[in-house]
Every structure is written in structure tokens, then in C-alpha cells.
């Protein structure tokens, strides 16, 4: 057996044993040690995956067209920073952010309107379930025809993808408030707006943030896929479709790595905001303990 492959397997077994030992460490009431272990375990696991990937690909002499090693992907990232940054700006900073803000904002405002109108609730929610089932590849070409080849058409796809998850989750969140608490607010003479801001909106916050976290990943996927159907000569989706045709698989993986990092950071930012806003919720308190 190839010595490199043997060394890779030994490293994997050693790291697996180390992680098993770490997760069994009893930190007691030491919050710092617990936090350090919580960060160290996934870090070691990630490094192990990359080393295993590198060792297996090189030991078995896998063709770079099929699967390049992480070192080749990293080299491509370092040598293509201007291109990757331009693609990131076009796809994420323009299409994803704009579409995410408009789609989630519109979904929240319509949820407020639905809460005031049972007619809208019966008419829009079934329509939302229908539209949410539409495939991206069916929506994207139409949006490109309507809004052109630049980022505006990709933002439109993101709006469609993020609108109804926010709408449905927000409506469910508004319905989560306890009926007795609502009746108590009425006995105090509270208006609809006062009841909404003081009681129902805080109760709906976990549902709203759940939609925001779901949409943070849907938005990036939608923008990248939409770029396959027409875009200027820049963008993550455009680069992936062009470079895979040229067999530059390392560049494709570089774009995938940038997209994964951007999506993870976006999701993490929303999760941190959720922890700060809904600190009172039992799920957040139990996660901190």
C-alpha cells in the first residue's frame, strides 16, 4: 500500500481518537474550557478532512479534472483573488444582499397585513405554498428576460425565494402568542399595534429569525443558479459555468469555497443577532448554559 495513504489513514485515526478524548472531557463549571473544547473539536475535524482529502487524492493519483487536492484549490484562490473578489461583489454584495433585504422585508410587511385581514390570510398563504414549490430553473430565465442580465434579475430571483418563507414563518409566529395574554392586553385597553409590539412580535421573534436563517442560504443558492441563465462576464454562477466547461475544476472549487465561506458567515451573523435579540427565549438560555 502507498506510504502516503498509510500515513494519511494513521493521521485520521489519531485525530479521531483525539476528538473522542476531547468530547469526553468533563469541564464542570469552567465555561472557558467548555468553550475552548467546543471550538477545538470542529477545528480538528475540519483539518482532518482536508488532510484526508489531500492524502487520498495524491496517493491514488486522482485526476485534477475529477477532484483537485485542497492545496491546488488554495493555490488557485491565492492567484485569483481579484477575479474572486469581483465575482463576490457581483453575486453576494449586490444580488444576494439586495434581494434578501427586499424579500424578507416584503414578507414581514405582508404578514402584518395578513394579520389584519383574514381574507388575505386565506388567499395568500395557499398561493405562497404554491410559489415556494416552483423550481429556480423555471423562475430564473423569466426574471432575466424581465430585468436584464445584470444583478437586478438575480436579486428578483432571491426576492421570490425569500419572500414566502418569511411570510409563512412570520404569520405562524404571530399566532404563537398565548391567547390568555392577548385577552389580558385587551382588558388593559391596548390597541392592536400595542399588542403587536409588546406581546405578539416578541413571541414571533424565534419564528422570524428561523426564516431569516433559512433565507440566508436560499438567497445565495438562488443568485448563483440564476447566473447560469444570463449575466455579465462576472459572478459566481457565471464563473462556475464557464470554468467547468474549460475543465478548470480548481477554479470551480475556489468559487465553491468562497460561496461556502460567504454563506456560513452570513448565517452566523444572523444567528448572532438572534442570540442578542431573543436572549430571553428558553432555547437561547439553554444553549448558553
Mean pLDDT on 51-65? 86
Helices (H), the chain: 3-23, 31-59, 70-79, 81-88, 97-116, 118-132, 136-147, 151-174, 179-187, 192-195, 201-226, 236-245, 249-277, 282-288
pLDDT above 90: percentage of residues in the chain: 26
| Cβ atoms 259, 236 nearer than 8 A | yes
Q: For cell 487536492, what's the residue?
A: 69
Using an 8 Å Cβ cutoff, are 40 and 220 in contact? no
pLDDT, position 281: 64
CA R_g for the chain? 24
Look at 122 and 105; give whichever has higher pLDDT.
105
In this prediction, residue 258 carries a pLDDT of: 93
Alpha-carbon span 27 to 7, nearest angstrom: 32
Instruction: Give the pLDDT mean for 68-97.
Output: 91
pLDDT digits 0-9 by tens, 130-156: 766 777 777 888 888 888 888 888 999
CA-based torsion, 231, 232, 234, 239: positive or negative: positive
* pLDDT at residue 100 is higher than 90: yes
Query: Residue 242 and residue 221: Cα distance in Å, rounded?
Result: 17
Residue with cell 395574554: 181
Q: Are 108 and 172 in contact (CB under 8 A)?
A: no
- Record the pTM: 0.81
Angle 104-108-109 from CA coordinates, rounded to 5°: 120
189 CB neighbour count, 10 Å cutoff: 7
Residue 84 confidence class, pLDDT cut points 50, 70, 90: very high
Residue labelled with grid coordinates 382588558: 187
- Least confident span in 39-48, 131-140, 221-230: 131-140
Residue 235 and residue 87 in contact, taking contact as beta carbons nearer than 8 Å: yes
Summarised one tens digit per residue, pLDDT across range 183-198 is: 777 777 777 777 777 7
| pLDDT at residue 142, as a whole number | 86
Work out the mean pLDDT of the chain and round it to a whole number: 84
Amino acid at each position: 500500500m502507498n506510504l502516503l495513504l498509510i500515513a494519511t489513514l494513521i493521521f485520521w485515526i489519531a485525530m479521531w481518537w483525539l476528538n473522542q478524548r476531547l468530547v469526553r472531557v468533563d469541564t464542570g463549571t469552567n465555561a472557558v474550557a467548555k468553550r475552548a473544547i467546543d471550538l477545538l473539536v470542529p477545528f480538528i475535524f475540519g483539518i482532518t478532512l482536508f488532510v484526508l482529502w489531500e492524502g487520498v487524492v495524491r496517493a491514488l493519483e486522482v485526476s485534477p479534472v475529477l477532484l483537485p487536492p485542497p492545496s491546488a484549490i488554495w493555490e488557485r484562490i491565492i492567484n485569483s483573488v481579484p477575479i474572486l473578489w469581483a465575482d463576490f461583489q457581483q453575486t453576494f454584495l449586490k444580488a444576494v444582499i439586495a434581494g434578501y433585504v427586499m424579500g424578507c422585508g416584503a414578507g414581514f410587511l405582508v404578514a402584518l397585513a395578513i394579520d389584519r385581514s383574514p381574507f388575505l390570510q386565506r388567499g395568500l398563504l395557499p398561493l405562497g405554498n404554491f410559489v415556494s414549490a416552483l423550481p429556480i430553473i423555471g423562475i430564473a430565465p423569466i426574471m432575466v428576460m424581465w430585468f436584464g442580465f445584470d444583478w437586478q434579475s438575480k436579486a428578483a430571483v432571491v426576492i421570490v425565494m425569500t419572500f414566502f418563507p418569511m411570510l409563512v414563518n412570520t404569520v405562524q409566529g404571530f399566532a404563537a402568542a398565548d391567547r390568555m395574554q392577548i385577552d389580558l392586553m385587551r382588558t388593559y385597553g391596548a390597541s392592536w399595534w400595542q399588542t403587536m409590539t409588546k406581546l405578539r412580535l416578541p413571541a414571533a421573534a424565534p419564528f422570524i429569525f428561523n426564516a431569516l436563517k433559512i433565507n440566508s442560504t436560499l438567497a445565495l443558492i438562488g443568485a448563483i443558479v440564476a447566473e447560469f441563465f444570463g449575466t455579465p462576464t462576472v459572478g459566481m454562477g457565471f464563473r462556475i459555468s464557464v470554468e467547468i466547461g474549460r475543465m478548470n475544476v480548481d477554479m470551480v472549487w475556489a468559487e465553491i469555497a468562497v460561496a461556502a465561506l460567504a454563506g456560513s458567515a452570513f448565517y452566523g451573523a444572523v444567528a448572532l443577532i438572534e442570540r442578542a435579540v431573543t436572549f430571553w427565549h428558553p432555547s437561547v438560555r439553554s444553549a448558553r448554559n
